[in-house]
Amino acid sequence: MLSFRTEIENPLVQKDIIELDKKIQLFQNGKIDEDGFRSLRLARGIYGQRQEGVQMIRIKLPFGRLSSEQLHRIADVSDEYSKGRLHITTRQDIQIHYVSLDRTPELWAELEKSDITLREACGNAVRNVTASEMAGIDPEEPFDVSPYADAVFKFFLRNPICQELGRKFKISFSSSEKDSALSFIHDLGFIAKVKHENQREIRGFKVMIAGGLGAQPRQADILYDFLETDKIIPFIESTLRVFDRHGERNRRAKARLKHLVLKIGLEKFLELVEEEKLAISNQTVGIDTSEFDIEKKDPSIPAPEVEPENDFAYETWKKSNVLPQKQNGYYAIGIKVRLGDFYTDKARKLADLIKEYAQDELRLTINQDILIRGVQASFLPFFYVKLKELGFTDLGYGSIMDVTSCPGTDTCNLGIASSTGLARELEKTLSEEFPMYVENKDISIKISGCMNACGQHSIAQIGFYGMSMKKGKLVIPAFQVLLGGGNLGGGLGNFADKIIKVPSKKAPDALRLLIYDFEDKKAADQSFNSYYLQQGKEYFYKLLKPVGEIKEEDKDLFIDWGHDEAYIKAIGVGECAGVVIDLVSTLLFESEEKLQNASLGIEEERWADSIYHAYASIVNTAKAVLIGENIKTNTQSGIIKDFDQYFVESGLIQMDGKLSDLVYKIKSNKPESSFAKSYLNEAKRFYELIDELRINALNDESKS
């Protein structure tokens, strides 16, 4: 029994929370080991921290949208279950740290009262769907991509086809060819476009596929120059089915979609996507956009009369942080949030401000900032005064001063060097020594605590990622310096080159050298990346080489930012991929659960869902048999092929036909009642056959 009341009306959500609570109790009672529990935990947004005994909770906020009520709810939850700090991520999520595991179901239930979920915020699933923060108000957009991002989020949440992928899957929606949501680094990226036929405007998207960052960044391919809006969800579903079946599952470093496309080629991948079309629920899915029409505040509401103390400061703030909307007379206000961290006392005041005087909506940005939308021109002085009281008027929104950083060694198991410590120092260096750069949006600085690129260092003009260096027997915290990355627009981008590694404490010196050199030698109006290409990688290596040198008398270099003691390289086990150790009994137990879910799908007439649960049960059961015989498993398609080779064709297991004949019926039948029922029955018979063989084998072992 739950120790708290969920008060959740949605039965699916309530079932999720109850299941999480039960599994936590089983884990704490020693009936599920950590590896067996991790997959479920991650799929519910619960991520292990560097600090033992506490969890990071990732709140999934589609395209970063937040209402006043939701922000209040998150603030209340953070105060009750954590320490009152909120962290904005580069995927427009909010993270709360230092949460006790046994309180996570209750925390989740509290969030769901305001329609906020944790589901699939981590793990091997479709992660948060991101979008341009200016979507819906961007003067350059052909249409608002928000409803399309929202529809994709809702369609694939809890969808059986993407609950246990080989790796995470990321989707973005950009409002224009500027590609501000960075489609070129996503598994699937969509850029809004329109075309005209017979005097009719048709909405669609340029579709990018198989991009990614990490240790091996890859530029996404242009798959479609134009795909109509009602075809995007069927296309994504087909793509996920192919990725689920053919994607790598053994070697984590090769398990993203980009590696599958590289392995089999884009043409073959598209053939596989086409083969899935018959099996999906709908060939077209229309998307209702009416909810996202801008609701303007009543212009008769008078603006509070205030006078900024300093007119110059106010005008400078407007120039730096205020953006015109496509809605005449309305503006968006950018709030630069240092390191993406803000606190609940300010969050509540901000929530009240937007509800009363704007349009009751915030968007979190991929640069870890906040964008207020729908502010009337006459209200700008009032917002400036109120935001200044909250410390939210720092200049440089979206500029070089707005440094992006992952949490690094603060909380992440994989962090090698203090990315947040370095970010603070670089922002301090810029504000004190280069104040003239406050409006420079040509250069971005992004920092990751390791090479995994959560801080997106690969796409910055100046990037850093954490590593270590040795001097004799001592280890020094360090950063790899990267140069030349950036977004080119239209689905294209540059990935930064690795130049040199420098001690962490000397990274500000590296930045100084780069800026001074750029200022001294650039041509008029020359961009940083243009200058970098002109001079070349070797030139910058020589420029920064003195910074990378270590002298034994430099004792300060052996201590990382924010620390008092000598650096110790300590890397834990990362959970980004939701790695699970698959035991035979665990797999068969999961197969039973999938059959139960398939039966529930039949009862609720969700034919496609039932069919996919049955499919997953068959593959899971076959995998259990292979692992039981110490046969290495990799992709789902490989499991099916190997099962036929080792067990059916050899005669070790007697079946009516091959396993592949059974499994691949999923591709040649429409998701209708008759097939869903027959397919479930066949999946049950296959499970019963394997379970009986396993019991007999165990009995034979006990007798011998």
End-to-end CA distance of the chain: 43
Q: Which helix (H) or strand (E) holds 240?
A: helix 232-246
For residues 622 and 429, give the distance between their C-alpha atoms in angstroms, rounded to a whole number: 58
- Dihedral sign from CA coordinates of 308, 75, 411, 252: negative
Please state, in angstroms and rounded to a whole number, the distance separating the CA atoms of residues 344 and 349. Answer: 9
Q: For residue 460, what are its two tokens? A: 């910055």
477-510 burial, b for 16+ CB within 10 Å, e for fewer? bbbbbbbbbbbeebbebbbbbebbbbbbbbbbeb
Residue 53 in 3-state DSSP? Answer: coil
Q: What is the pLDDT of residues 88-117, one digit of tens each?
A: 999 999 999 999 999 999 999 999 999 999
Q: Which of 12-26, 207-221, 483-497, 573-587 has the lowest mean pLDDT?
A: 573-587
**What CA–CA distances, in Å, run from 578 to 44, 57, 412, 571?**
11, 15, 14, 17
Burial class of 198 by CB neighbour count within 10 A (0 to 12, 13 to 18, 19+): exposed
| Rg from Cα positions in the chain | 27
List of residues 6+ apart from 232 with CB closer than 8 A? 148, 152, 190, 205, 207, 285
State both tokens at 687: 């499970």
Task: Identify the three-state secondary structure at position 670.
Answer: coil
Q: pLDDT: is 31 or 54 the higher one?
A: 54
Mean pLDDT across 491-508: 95
Of 510, 515, 507, nearest in space to 434 by CA: 515
Cβ neighbours of residue 434 closer than 8 Å, sequence gap 6 or more: 515
Provide the pLDDT for residue 581: 34
Q: What is the dihedral of CA 285, 158, 640, 654, to 10 degrees?
A: -110
Quote the CA–CA distance of 420 and 337 in Å, as a whole number: 13
Q: For the chain, what's the residue count?
A: 704
Q: Identify the residue whose tokens are 């009281």.
A: 389
CA-to-CA separations, 518 to 402, 493, 511, in angstroms, rounded: 19, 22, 11
Query: Tokens 């809605």 — which residue?
Result: 327
d(CA 545, CA 541): 6
Residue 7 pLDDT > 80? no
Confidence of residue 400 (pLDDT cuts 50, 70, 90): very high
pLDDT(582) > 50: no
With a CB cutoff of 8 Å and minimum separation 6, the contacts of 497 are 482, 483, 484, 537
Q: Is the pLDDT of residue 188 over 80?
A: yes
The larger pLDDT score, comparing residue 468 to residue 425, is at 425
Residue-level pLDDT at 698: 60
Task: Give the number of other Cβ atoms within 10 Å of residue 51's Cβ.
Answer: 13
pLDDT for the residue numbered 6: 59
Q: 18 near 40, Cβ under 8 Å?
A: no
What H or E segment, with its residue span, contains residue 385? helix 380-389
Could you report the per-residue pLDDT of 666-688, keeping only the tens digit for each? 999 999 999 999 999 999 999 99
Residue 677: what are its φ and ψ, rounded to 5°?
-70, -45
Cβ–Cβ under 8 Å, residues 82 and 97: yes
Structure tokens at 249: 């599952």
Domain architecture of the chain: domains with CATH? 11-112 (3.90.480.20), 138-291 (3.30.413.10), 307-389 (3.30.70.3340), 404-558 (3.30.413.10), 584-703 (1.20.120)
DSSP for 176-201 reads: STT-TT-GGGSSEEEEEEEEEETTEE
Q: How far is CA 593 from CA 33, 39, 620, in A?
A: 18, 15, 11
| 3 state DSSP class of 704 | coil
Judge whether 5 and 25 are in contact, CB under 8 Å: no
The mean pLDDT of 146-157, rounded to a whole number, is 97
pTM above 0.85, yes or no: yes
Task: Read off the pLDDT of residues 602-644 as tens digits, 9 standing for 90 and up.
Answer: 999 999 999 999 999 999 999 988 988 888 888 999 999 999 9
In whole angstroms, give the CA distance from residue 212 to residue 550.
Answer: 34
- To 5 degrees, how large is the angle CA 464–CA 118–CA 230? 90
d(CA 191, CA 183) in angstroms, rounded, equals 7
Contacts of 387 (CB under 8 A, 6+ apart): 333, 335, 353, 393
Confidence at 546, pLDDT banded by 50, 70, 90: very high
Residue type, 278: L
251: its two tokens = 């070697």
**Residue 584 to residue 176: CA distance in whole angstroms:** 49
Q: In angstroms, rounded to a whole number, what is the distance separating the alpha carbons of residues 141 and 175?
A: 5
Residues 348/74, Cβ–Cβ less than 8 Å: no
- Taking a C-beta distance cutoff of 8 angstroms, is the pair 55, 49 a contact? yes
- How high does pLDDT run on average in the chain? 90
- Tens of pLDDT, residues 36-48: 788 788 888 999 8
